[in-house]
Structure 1
């Protein structure tokens, strides 16, 4: 028994509570490993996760999967020498293998088509493959190739030998701040890369963060991820409850990046504190804590960490910190390696850049130079490109980093306390970064882009109240589907016909209440001139708010006329 001073946080309000006796409790246990599913989670959460299975978790995943003889597998995998089984899941095995041409190790998921189909998991598998094929980032698991047969799907992936971050924390308990910060910087780098490529992970947790031989983080398990589209929102409740954002467990609409930021906040708390900020045996109580933003901050946290964590765990997604804002936070910037200070290039830029030395090695294997270049630029999968990327990744690992020795410098400091030289510190360079763009501000000025929608610096509540007043003046019906999101319907006035719609007077609490559904009436709503649209309020990167209208149904020109009329009614914007 020992005494700790805690800071209790309730929905971003911080209260200090000194001298609270506490019994040390270890971070994760079996209950944290096997989370109860959310009430609205689809069947995917009643089965084992698809993500990379490590030997540490294999004993919990044995289910008696059977496969054909090795000769049959060899027929489909002539370029690989299969080794031991790393783990077994509900519909597949993970085996270590050696690539015949390069001699480098890979991990191969062997997914049984019949089991995938029986569990209705085809979409989840396809989604992960589709996403990982896009990605090339030092902190995201690399997918080298996919081989499909009538009975199985072989997914050849990067091999990481140090297991999950989950098991690392179980073994070490709470981490030293510099080590935790290094992990967090790598996680944010990988998440930022996902968001730049319009992918939201939606299931970030230590079990899905793998560690390579040099203790670098690799994001994995993209089976629950979704590809973001402008103007569209997600509602599916995904991920483990302890890491899920309030808007997710509440079933509200969300655009995506903000839920990953919340999960990153929970992970940072776990790294620094050795416990979860939101935890309860009773799921309803757990949800109550998450929705209320109720957790404690131990006294051992540094001032920087105590400032950053509450900014990540803000209940209102509109006020929650963004990835660019995380980059600018002093705690995050401390000892930030150069390669993480620069936003990674997008996938198209990466495809255009070819390493001449590695290319020559692949040519020596007997492949045509021009065909290799064409395949790399077109992101094609074949024997030559697999060999190229295996050689490229191995060289980065041997040279200890994404950009030369940066990884080694970072890890030596994190684990041994030897700080890298000043040239690798971002102290003088991070101020050049324009995190809202794609490169260095001083070298790559970005032309200002058009902004679609109506912008305002007014408080979001004031904006929504003004919008509702304007909609009422225009005789538009609406239904609230999110805190800052509505479905609307407008029926053009037909002389001599009463449409029977009812709109209550707008009150200041209207947008936060339970609005009635839009009243359907005497068939007028089926008219071809009826316009249905959605209204959504965004928070922009420059601390403004953007009102967006998206047409769902109805003639485009009538919709544009309505938008013009709405703009004329608005006084705040």
Structure 2
């Protein structure tokens, strides 16, 4: 903040907080320690000065804030409130007493397996919550994993995070080179969760060995090592730890282990806390149930309890709800997560862990997205897809092993769908009649070529989903082609 007026504006905006020392510096401002005047709770205040933020950066800042508002989990740094003024944006967050996991690794070197397992269980739990809320972090690394005074780790810094949408794939190369997945540094398309899992695998390796699986001072050489996927696991690691690392660091993202599979891994299940073993998304941490002791504490602080309840029910951001959020976070942090009160608050439904998710399925703006399931292997599935596309006169270009760009120019002719082709069952003797052909001939002449993308990704351990997304061309013809493909494939 430049000048006296700038600091006066800062003081006025942060009237509920007492500022302390500077914790760090960023591209758009600084992060300072603060203390909430009503509750006495320490906070971290990110001060983003607007004169450093251009229009593009402004969108990124808004996206980061919106993403943090989505997330409420014991292993994700909590966002308390956002205060916007003309000169700056103030992001008030949970304060983490013990700093970055990076420094913890640097000081201790390699960790004992029990401690490393404790950390990776909490990290995976936080990352899982991100994915269930349709968020991909894209920059998981020890510097972005913060520790509290009780030795619990929380995911932080969502500056590179993005929202996942079904049928929309990312191609942005971002994050730290040493922790980036092969598909990210190659500029290939990726859905999201699989790159966070790779980064978590690198973090786990670093926790257990004190070194990195892929490292080199020359970036091009480093990238080559990552793309090869060849690394050496220290012999002192247990077989279970080595197996999980190797499955998280598989170059082929379709074969890479998923989070539901990580939860089932024998090594990961060792001393797995109950609150992590179940789905925590619908617990009181999300503030869907009002915490009575916290409410009573607010009454002692001088708040009108009925007004607090009304504000919480309306999801308002005001002095009451911010204070409640801080007190609730402190209460859960202080009492621990794996306690009787937390377990009793879990409904039978919430005790069932979600198994089926890889990518979210919200509506895609402006595009049609369809999917077909396959229980065959990825290579078998793609081989049969190519055979059917050739039969349907579709031209394609391979972008990756399981990603292709396609173009279809409708042809006006009668054809007969052939009989069975291995695992993709085809219907026999389906011939279009003359009236339909005549009608379609008129329609085809009005439309341009249809361009679309196909991506194969893992749905669960036993099946894959073939995702179709229209890029250009009329929806009618795209649906027509999908109907022809579906006429050939009996799921």
Query: TM-score if structure 1 supplies the norm length?
Result: 0.72
One of 51, 75, 83 as aligned partner of 1:139 = 75
State how far apart, in whole Å, the 1-side matches of 2:287 and 2:294 are: 14
Where does residue 560 of structure 1 map in the other structure?
Answer: 479
- What are the residue-to-residue correspondences of 1:528-547 with 2, within 5 Å? 528-547=447-466
Deviation at 1:201, TM superposition (A): 0.4
8 Å contact kept, 1:351–1:378: no
Where does residue 355 of structure 2 map in the other structure?
Answer: 436
State how far apart, in whole Å, the 2-side matches of 1:67 and 1:96 are: 21
Q: Across the two proteins, how many residue pairs are aligned to each other?
A: 444
Matched, 1:81 2:14: no
State how far apart, in whole Å, the 1-side matches of 2:390 and 2:303 are: 68
Q: Deviations over 1:338-372 (max 9, x none)?
A: 11111212599934211122223334545444443
Q: Deviations over 1:104-124 (max 9, x none)?
A: 111111111101229x52233
8 Å contact kept, 2:278–2:353: no
Which segments of 5 or more consecutive residues in structure 2 lack a partner in the other structure?
344-350, 358-368, 414-442
Rate the CA distance shift 1:348–1:338 in 2: closer, same or farther, 3 A.
closer
State how far apart, in whole Å, the 2-side matches of 1:99 and 1:223 are: 25
Q: Deviations over 1:80-109 (max 9, x none)?
A: 111222223332122111111111111111
Where does residue 330 of structure 1 map in the other structure?
Answer: 266
Deviation at 1:197, TM superposition (A): 0.4
Higher deviation after alignment, 92-101 or 550-559: 550-559
8 Å contact kept, 1:197–1:346: no
SS of aligned partner of 1:470: helix
8 Å contact kept, 2:205–2:212: yes
- What are the residue-to-residue correspondences of 1:183-194 with 2, within 5 Å? 183-194=119-130
SS of aligned partner of 2:19: strand
- What are the residue-to-residue correspondences of 1:68-467 with 2, within 5 Å? 68=4, 70-117=7-54, 120-346=56-282, 350-399=286-335, 401-404=336-339, 434-436=353-355, 453-467=371-385
Deviation at 1:265, TM superposition (A): 0.5
8 Å contact kept, 1:339–1:406: no
State how far apart, in whole Å, the 2-side matches of 1:185 and 1:66 are: 44
State how far apart, in whole Å, the 1-side matches of 2:454 and 2:356 are: 27
Q: Deviations over 1:496-523 (max 9, x none)?
A: xxxxxxxxxxxxxxxxxxxxxxxxxxxx
8 Å contact kept, 1:339–1:402: yes
Rate the CA distance shift 1:398–1:473 in 2: closer, same or farther, 3 A.
closer
SS of aligned partner of 1:147: strand
Higher deviation after alignment, 486-495 or 78-87: 486-495
8 Å contact kept, 1:109–1:156: yes
Which segments of 5 or more consecutive residues in structure 1 lack a partner in the other structure?
1-64, 408-422, 424-431, 439-450, 496-523
Deviation at 1:437, TM superposition (A): 6.1
Q: Deviations over 1:255-281 (max 9, x none)?
A: 000000000000000000110000011
Matched, 1:475 2:475: no
Rate the CA distance shift 1:373–1:554 in 2: closer, same or farther, 3 A.
farther
> Alpha carbon RMSD of aligned pairs, Å?
2.8
- What are the residue-to-residue correspondences of 1:500-539 with 2, within 5 Å? 528-539=447-458
One of 402, 407, 423 as aligned partner of 1:484 = 402
Q: Deviations over 1:446-502 (max 9, x none)?
A: xxxxx963222212122212212211222122222332122222222358xxxxxxx
Q: Deviations over 1:398-451 (max 9, x none)?
A: 22x1243899xxxxxxxxxxxxxxx9xxxxxxxx8544169xxxxxxxxxxxx9
Deviation at 1:379, TM superposition (A): 3.1
Deviation at 1:243, TM superposition (A): 0.4
Q: Deviations over 1:34-77 (max 9, x none)?
A: xxxxxxxxxxxxxxxxxxxxxxxxxxxxxxx7564654322111
8 Å contact kept, 1:396–1:404: no
8 Å contact kept, 2:73–2:285: no
State how far apart, in whole Å, the 2-side matches of 1:351 and 1:292 are: 45
Q: Deviations over 1:275-323 (max 9, x none)?
A: 0000011111111110010111111101111111111100000000000
Higher deviation after alignment, 90-99 or 332-341: 90-99
Rate the CA distance shift 1:525–1:240 in 2: closer, same or farther, 3 A.
farther
